[in-house]
């Protein structure tokens, strides 16, 4: 027959639970636990209740209101997190749980959280403001590259730059673009370029990769170096879908390294075509200007009658001389400015093949200048000859040559020309104009004649 167990030393449920609670809290004062969130629930009191689970077990957790209010992200079911807290027991149910004091995303989530926090801090300082972005130089003489000396990125940059403008100067600062110490090397290279005079533009970047591979370009030291660079910076980090804090701090963000090279320099052939278009426009403007001045000369000539032909010809001659002088001055100024632009381009780009090309262009310009001056002199000479011919024809048609043969012109006091005796009266005063001089006359008698003057 079985005997009843002794009742001495029997514990109440509350006493046992308290002992277990004390034992657990002493054994696990503070631990980090990693697991997947499940059953996330925010109570009306403001406390957060959830569980952490892995493949074999599940742990109830609680985060008090004051701690949860400081949490920098929104916990969601299924997210992998790391929780730090104290193991304790909830006496009413006799369950042990973790009272979490910290909660952070695990793995990639931790990186993204750190990236977001750093972005907010730097943005608050104004490092990403659009107002501080600088325009890229239109014709850079020399470009600095801050990237790895090996890999596709540097090959793409150099290849595209040389293809678009073969004589562009390229200075490479070889750096590590990932791993320990990469951020410090990148920032130091950017600062070194600030002390190297003659570099007009920087391209900072690398090829594509994971967020861990690109992390050096999210480091604060690199972002501050890009924002404080002495010259404009193009960020070319990764592929089009990749974004880093360096992209936000740079003056221009390129989708890829090749795109950065396209943004940095123009195509030389397109520049040459633009120069040719402007030269043709200048030629058309000069031609149209001469045609307009020719029409103005003709209008001036048509405005003057026989009595002031000498003054008209003199004024036209004066205008021709003035236009000739202004055209020669403008031509010399245009050629001088063209020479200065060529000289400036040589100094900016240091092209190896340009000295010989410039010598040929100078010779061609001198020949063109000589031909243009000769053509101008020939054209003006022809115009003068035509004007003199017009003068001779005008003089041949002048009535004063008729007066030289003994004739005179009779005018009434109001200046109208008297063509016949009809309408005249005896005693009327007339003004007689001779080839040299004038006289007043009075009509003493009238004798009408025939239509043929008989």
Residues of the chain with CATH 2.40.50.140: 13-106
d(CA 346, CA 192): 27
- Helix boundaries (H) for 125-267: 152-164, 182-195, 220-227, 245-249, 257-264
- Are residues 178 and 238 in contact, defined by beta-carbon separation less than 8 angstroms? no
pTM, whole model, 2 decimals? 0.47
Residue 228: both structure tokens together? 């404080």
Say what percent of the chain tops pLDDT 90. Answer: 32
Range with top average pLDDT, 13-27, 194-208, 402-416: 194-208
Q: Which of 41-55, 328-342, 380-394, 395-409 has the lowest mean pLDDT?
A: 395-409
Range with top average pLDDT, 174-178, 205-209, 367-371: 174-178
Burial of 242-266, coded b for 16+ CB within 10 Å and e otherwise, reads bbbbbbbbbbbbbebbbbbbbbbbe
- Are residues 266 and 165 in contact, defined by beta-carbon separation less than 8 angstroms? yes
**Is pLDDT at 343 greater than 80 in this prediction?**
no
**Counting beta carbons within 10 angstroms of the beta carbon of residue 7, is it exposed (0 to 12), middle (13 to 18) or buried (19 or more)?**
exposed
pLDDT recorded at residue 408 = 86
Band (pLDDT 50/70/90 cuts) for residue 108 is low
pLDDT recorded at residue 145 = 96
299 versus 328: the higher-pLDDT residue is: 328
Mean pLDDT, residues 247-272: 93
- Are residues 431 and 410 in contact, defined by beta-carbon separation less than 8 angstroms? yes
- Are residues 433 and 441 in contact, defined by beta-carbon separation less than 8 angstroms? no
Residues of the chain with CATH 3.40.50.280: 113-264
d(CA 84, CA 97): 12
pLDDT (tens digit, 9 = 90+) per residue, 152-196?
Answer: 899 999 999 999 999 999 999 999 999 999 999 999 999 999 988
Sheet holding 201-206, edge to edge: 169-174, 142-147, 201-206, 233-237, 252-253
pLDDT recorded at residue 453 = 47
pLDDT (tens digit, 9 = 90+) per residue, 58-101?
Answer: 999 999 998 888 876 788 888 888 899 888 887 788 788 888 99
The DSSP bridge partners found for residue 236 are 205
The DSSP bridge partners found for residue 60 are 51
Band (pLDDT 50/70/90 cuts) for residue 18 is confident
**Counting beta carbons within 10 angstroms of the beta carbon of residue 99, is it exposed (0 to 12), middle (13 to 18) or buried (19 or more)?**
middle
pLDDT (tens digit, 9 = 90+) per residue, 37-57?
Answer: 999 999 999 999 999 998 888
Q: Which of 20-24, 108-112, 329-333 has the lowest mean pLDDT?
A: 108-112
Band (pLDDT 50/70/90 cuts) for residue 307 is very low
The CATH architecture one would assign to domain 113-264 is: 3-Layer(aba) Sandwich (3.40)
Residue 390: both structure tokens together? 């017009």
pLDDT recorded at residue 375 = 85
**Is pLDDT at 451 greater than 70 in this prediction?**
no
Band (pLDDT 50/70/90 cuts) for residue 109 is low
d(CA 421, CA 425): 8
pLDDT recorded at residue 294 = 84
- Are residues 80 and 109 in contact, defined by beta-carbon separation less than 8 angstroms? yes
Angle, helix 354-397 to helix 309-349, in steps of 10 degrees? 180
For 162, half-sphere exposure in the C-beta direction (CA atoms, 13 angstrom radius) is: 8
d(CA 367, CA 452): 66
Residue (of 208, 98, 94, 89) closest to 147 by Cα position: 208
293 versus 355: the higher-pLDDT residue is: 293
The CATH architecture one would assign to domain 13-106 is: Beta Barrel (2.40)
């Amino acid at each position: 027959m079985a005997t009843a167990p002794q009742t001495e030393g029997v514990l109440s449920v509350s006493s046992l639970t308290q002992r277990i609670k004390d034992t657990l809290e002493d054994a696990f004062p503070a631990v980090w636990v990693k697991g997947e969130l499940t059953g996330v629930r925010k109570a009306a009191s403001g406390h957060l209740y959830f569980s952490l689970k892995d493949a074999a077990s599940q742990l109830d957790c609680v985060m008090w209101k004051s701690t949860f209010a400081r949490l920098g992200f929104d916990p969601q079911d299924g997210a992998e997190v790391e929780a730090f807290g104290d193991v304790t027991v909830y006496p009413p149910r006799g369950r042990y749980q973790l009272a979490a004091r910290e909660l952070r995303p695990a793995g990639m989530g931790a990186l993204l959280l750190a990236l977001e926090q750093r972005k907010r801090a730097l943005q608050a300082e104004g490092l990403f403001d659009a107002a501080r972005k600088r325009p890229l130089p239109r014709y850079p003489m020399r470009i600095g590259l801050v990237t790895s000396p090996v890999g596709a990125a540097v090959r793409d940059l150099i290849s595209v730059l040389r293809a678009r403008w073969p004589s562009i100067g390229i200075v490479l600062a070889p750096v590590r673009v990932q791993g320990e110490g990469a951020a410090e090397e990148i920032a130091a290279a950017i600062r070194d370029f600030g002390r190297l005079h003659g570099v007009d533009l920087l391209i900072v970047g690398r090829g594509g990769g994971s967020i861990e591979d690109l992390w050096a370009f999210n480091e604060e030291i690199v972002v501050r170096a890009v924002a404080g660079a002495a010259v404009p910076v193009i960020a070319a980090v990764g592929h089009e879908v990749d974004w880093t804090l360096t992209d936000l701090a740079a003056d221009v963000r390129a989708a890829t390294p090749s795109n950065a090279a396209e943004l940095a320099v123009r195509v030389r052939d397109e520049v040459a075509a633009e120069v040719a278009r402007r030269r043709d426009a200048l030629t058309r403007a000069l031609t149209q200007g001469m045609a307009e001045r020719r029409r103005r000369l003709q209008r001036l000539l048509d405005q003057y009658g026989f009595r002031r032909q000498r003054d008209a010809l003199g004024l036209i001659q004066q205008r021709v001389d003035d236009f000739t002088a202004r055209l020669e001055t403008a031509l010399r100024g245009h050629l001088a400015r063209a020479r200065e632009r060529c000289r400036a381009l040589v100094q900016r780009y240091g092209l190896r093949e340009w000295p010989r090309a410039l010598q040929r262009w100078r010779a061609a310009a001198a020949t063109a200048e000589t031909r243009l001056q000769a053509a101008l002199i020939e054209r003006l000479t022809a115009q003068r000859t035509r004007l003199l011919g017009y003068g001779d024809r005008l003089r041949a048609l002048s009535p004063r040559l008729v007066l030289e043969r003994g004739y005179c012109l009779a005018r009434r006091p109001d200046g109208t020309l008297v063509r016949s005796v009809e309408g005249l009266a005896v005693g009327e005063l007339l003004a007689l104009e001779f080839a040299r001089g004038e006289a007043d006359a009075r009509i003493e008698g009238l004798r009408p004649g025939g239509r043929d003057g008989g």
